[in-house]
């Protein structure tokens, strides 16, 4: 079965080829992102494999379907970028990787929190320049601080466990509280209480119509002044312009982002010889208390191995039975 893999980076080739060994799959790798112009590269494929910033809107889905593609295998857990209604209308099956390594994203969230807190990124540069002054590097003890986790699914639960280890009090908000979190002492509270009491707020919920711009001017106004806000879920859970206003007023004391609402035109590319075309993003980079990574939460060996294994399992299951192992369908 021919499978066209879009947004391919060298690590995708290594991990997917390894997982596909011995399977009757003909993987065709394309560096190009999937969009209405590049969809035609999949001519002759029965399946395509896509990543988080590929365009899987109605036009692309119609084009894929017209070429005979029957399966979209996502190399991600999130599927907010797929027009599921269009997929259903054309009979295309969408599969995803529901769980790979929740540790990868939870641990990256901790990396952002600790770096923002103890400013190791600034200390690194200073020390290399022979500057051992400590001014501006003061942090706070994690022990005893209140952490608010929005979304205690797989990633949020691992994060809660790690933050418990630091001695944080943990508040959480989730329409479906987790028994595992409750057992470790996490307190489920209304969003208002979480926003008002947390010293550190982390977003671990999916992007849905209900969470789009969950963090807006009004939510920021309800936060504790000087709060640390970290988003490793999906960019559009935050209204970036509102967050910039919060940083300028000092209401937000530190911001860590691994995702950005307009990241598709920036992330995963080397723009160092070019320029940043997005003025809102460029503004974010001017704040000393903002730390941004380019959607690398998932980027560990273990996670990539698991993503490749589940992606190949989705493809071979489809090849054998006509159904994917982990299909995504429209909610009723």
Q: Which residues does the annotation mark as catalytic?
A: 234, 263, 295
Burial of 132 (0-12, 13-18, 19+ CB in 10 A): exposed
57 close to 94: Cβ distance less than 8 angstroms = no
Tokens of 156: 């949020």
Name the nearest CA neighbour of 269 among 17, 14, 33, 42: 33
Nearer Cβ to ligand NAI (176/275): 176
Beginning with the edge strand found earlier in the chain, give each strand of the sheet holding 290-292 in spatial order.
187-188, 169-173, 146-150, 200-203, 227-231, 252-257, 290-292
202 binds ligand NAI (CB under 6 A): no
Burial of 40 (0-12, 13-18, 19+ CB in 10 A): exposed
Distances in Å between the alpha carbon of 21 and those of 25, 217, 233, 326?
9, 50, 32, 21
Nearer Cβ to ligand NAI (6/63): 6
Smallest gap from Cβ 267 to ligand NAI, in A, equals 10
93 phi and psi angles, rounded to 5 deg: -90, 135
- The window from 123-131, 138-146, 150-158, 192-200 that contacts ligand NAI (CB under 6 A) reads 150-158
Q: Taking the mean position of all CA atoms in its chain, how far away is CA 154?
A: 13
15 binds ligand NAI (CB under 6 A): no
229 binds ligand NAI (CB under 6 A): no
| Neighbouring residues of 302: CB distance < 8 A, sequence distance ≥ 6 | 101, 103, 104
In the block, residue with structure tokens 């969950």:
214
Q: Could you give the angle at which helices 120-128 and 102-118 cross, rounded to 10 degrees?
A: 60
234 binds ligand NAI (CB under 6 A): yes
Smallest gap from Cβ 272 to ligand NAI, in A, equals 22
Out of 71, 86, 116, 155, the only residue in the binding site for ligand NAI (CB under 6 A) is: 155
Out of 258, 306, 307, 308, the only residue in the binding site for ligand NAI (CB under 6 A) is: 258
- What residues from 50 to 89 belong to the interface with ligand NAI (CB under 6 A)? 77-78
Smallest gap from Cβ 264 to ligand NAI, in A, equals 14
Site string for ligand NAI, 84-103 (x = CB under 6 A): ------------------x-
148 binds ligand NAI (CB under 6 A): no
- What residues from 100 to 129 belong to the interface with ligand NAI (CB under 6 A)? 102, 105
Q: Taking the mean position of all CA atoms in its chain, how far away is CA 210?
A: 17
Nearer Cβ to ligand NAI (63/82): 82
Out of 4, 93, 297, 316, the only residue in the binding site for ligand NAI (CB under 6 A) is: 297
Out of 3, 72, 92, 150, the only residue in the binding site for ligand NAI (CB under 6 A) is: 150
Out of 148, 151, 235, 256, the only residue in the binding site for ligand NAI (CB under 6 A) is: 151
* DSSP reduced 3-state for 78: coil
- What residues from 157 to 196 belong to the interface with ligand NAI (CB under 6 A)? 173-176
Q: What residues form DSSP beta bridges with 148?
A: 171, 201
Smallest gap from Cβ 166 to ligand NAI, in A, equals 20
d(CA 160, CA 180): 10
* DSSP reduced 3-state for 35: coil
Out of 3, 168, 238, 259, the only residue in the binding site for ligand NAI (CB under 6 A) is: 259
Out of 153, 235, 246, 253, the only residue in the binding site for ligand NAI (CB under 6 A) is: 153
328 close to 94: Cβ distance less than 8 angstroms = yes
Interface residues toward ligand NAI, by CB under 6 A: 77-78, 102, 105, 150-156, 173-176, 204-207, 210-211, 232-234, 258-259, 295, 297-298
């Amino acid at each position: 079965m021919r499978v066209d893999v879009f947004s391919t980076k060298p690590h995708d080739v290594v991990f997917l080829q390894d997982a596909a060994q011995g399977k009757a799959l003909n993987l065709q790798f394309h560096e190009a992102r999937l969009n209405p112009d590049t969809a035609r590269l999949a001519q002759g494929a029965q399946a395509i494999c896509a990543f988080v910033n590929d365009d899987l809107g109605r036009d692309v889905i119609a084009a894929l379907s017209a070429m005979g593609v029957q399966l979209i295998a996502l190399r991600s857990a999130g599927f907010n970028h797929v027009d599921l209604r269009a997929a259903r209308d054309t009979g295309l099956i969408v599969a995803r990787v529901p769980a790979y390594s929740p540790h990868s994203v939870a641990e990256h969230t901790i990396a952002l929190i600790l770096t923002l807190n103890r400013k190791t990124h600034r200390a690194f540069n200073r020390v290399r320049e022979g500057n051992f002054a400590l001014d501006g590097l003061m942090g706070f003890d994690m022990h005893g601080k209140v952490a608010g986790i929005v979304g205690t699914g797989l990633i949020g639960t691992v994060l809660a466990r790690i933050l418990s280890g630091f001695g944080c009090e943990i508040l959480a908000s989730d329409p479906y509280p987790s028994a595992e979190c409750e057992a470790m002492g996490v307190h489920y509270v209304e969003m208002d209480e979480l926003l008002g009491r947390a010293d550190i707020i982390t977003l671990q919920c999916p992007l849905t119509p209900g969470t789009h711009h969950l963090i807006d001017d009004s939510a920021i106004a309800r936060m504790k002044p000087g709060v640390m806000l970290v988003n490793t879920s999906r960019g559009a859970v935050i209204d970036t312009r509102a967050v910039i206003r919060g940083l300028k007023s000092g209401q937000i004391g530190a911001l860590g982002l691994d995702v950005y609402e307009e990241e598709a035109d920036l992330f995963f590319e080397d723009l160092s010889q070019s320029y940043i075309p997005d003025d809102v993003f460029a503004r974010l980079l001017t704040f000393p208390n903002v730390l941004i990574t380019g959607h690398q939460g998932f980027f560990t060996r273990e996670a990539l191995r698991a993503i490749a294994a589940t992606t190949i399992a989705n493809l071979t299951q489809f090849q054998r039975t006509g159904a994917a192992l982990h299909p995504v369908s429209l909610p009723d």
